[in-house]
Amino acid sequence: MAFRLVLITPPEPATPRELDVAQQLLGSGKLQTLHLRKPGSSREQVAQYLAALSRDARRKVVLHSHHGLSKSTSIGGVHFREADRPPGVIKAPAGLSVSTSFHVLPDLSVCRGDLDYCFLSPIYSSISKPGYEAAFQHSELEAALAGARHPVLALGGVTADKFGELAGLGFAGAALLGAVWGAGDPLAAWQQAAERADGLG
């Protein structure tokens, strides 16, 4: 199975540069999944971000907030933060992918529902969040991932040179943030990461 890559937007309000990079990556076909995570943004601001993208590009976007926009805008999926995750079995809205975030290993084996994948963090010390340190030992990760109910993507401090190690531990892929947006050339950084991931297939 291919090593899956997704890109998460910076949490700050979108800049013209960010929108330009997102449009280019989504439009070129080099990026299949963009997680739109803007925790401080209003519904209107998130709607404006989506409106700046083409219809085809929006279908590759997963919303972290203001999920109601999925009823009026063609998007690819919704993501539930740990605090927002519905109790019990998670049901996928019609036609949308569903993902969520985990921060403790036991949740990987007990969470039920229509999850396409989930994030586990922090795997390495964060690039974009100073002080957000790696939380797991490799030995415990390997055991937990073997018993996970859904594909698990690594988040937190992930860079392309770690993909081989992550795949060896049992991760189905990775979510990138700081390694791309913090680079001098985010487009080139994503391309290099995608090529490294393809090389694992």
The per-residue pLDDT for range 124-180, each reduced to its tens digit, is: 988 777 777 888 999 999 999 999 999 999 999 999 999 999 999 999 999 999 999
Mean pLDDT of the chain: 93
Homologous superfamily, domain 4-196: Aldolase class I (3.20.20.70)
Q: 38-94, pLDDT tens digit by residue?
A: 999 999 999 999 999 999 999 999 999 999 999 889 999 999 998 888 777 788 788
Scanning the structure block, which residue is given the tokens 């926009």? 69
Domain ranges of the chain: 4-196
At 102-117, the pLDDT tens digits run 999 999 988 878 899 9
Which residues are bridge partners to 6 per DSSP?
Answer: 175
